[in-house]
Amino acid sequence: MNYIRPTNFYQNPYDKVRKHSLKSFNESIDEKTDSIIQLVVAEGPISISERLNELDREWDIDKAVMLFQSGLIMGQLASAIRKQTKNQLWGPLLQTPLLALHATFGWSPVTMIFRKLGFRTRFEIQAEREVLLNVLEQENYGENQSVTEWDIFESI
């Protein structure tokens, strides 16, 4: 079965990170996702199931940004305590509001770096998951059986 992405499929009105990302980053991520979907669909149901399992383990951009920022802040605080100097506290004082900015509006300088690296939002990951599940249902692999996401989780 050939997969053709509907227009604006990956766009979600609640996706703050995508809304504040550069159009070129979004298009690059969409093209990569489309090519993966086409490849996986062409390989068949086993490949689709494996891809769904990979999507369950994929880190979204929020998780990556929060881990990076918190690690950086903790490292700078540890350095300030070890060196016993207040000059080292400027880093955490500047980075903590950037982390809050990302949590509130979905934008920060670090977010743009991670988007450039190809990290996707949870909405984009979920959109790919839904496409793959729909393909499984449309192809109706098996004898009149409907494959759901829960069936795939049970097989793990």
From the list 144, 123, 143, 141, the residue with the least C-alpha distance to 49 is: 141
Residue spans of the domains in the chain: they are: 17-154
Does residue 98 contact residue 109 with C-beta atoms inside 8 Å?
Answer: yes
- pLDDT for res 143: 47
Q: Considering only CA atoms, which of 28, 2, 29, 6 is closest in space to residue 124?
A: 29
**Dist CA 148 CA 39 (whole Å):** 21
Q: What is the pLDDT, as a whole number, of residue 4?
A: 62
Residue 121: name the closest of 137, 133, 138, 107 by CA.
107
Q: Tokens standing for 30?
A: 């969409």
Residue-level pLDDT, tens digit, the chain, 156 residues: 556 666 566 678 788 999 889 999 999 999 999 999 999 999 989 999 999 999 999 999 999 999 999 999 999 899 888 888 888 788 888 889 988 988 888 889 999 999 999 999 999 999 999 899 988 888 765 444 555 555 555 554
pLDDT of residue 153: 55
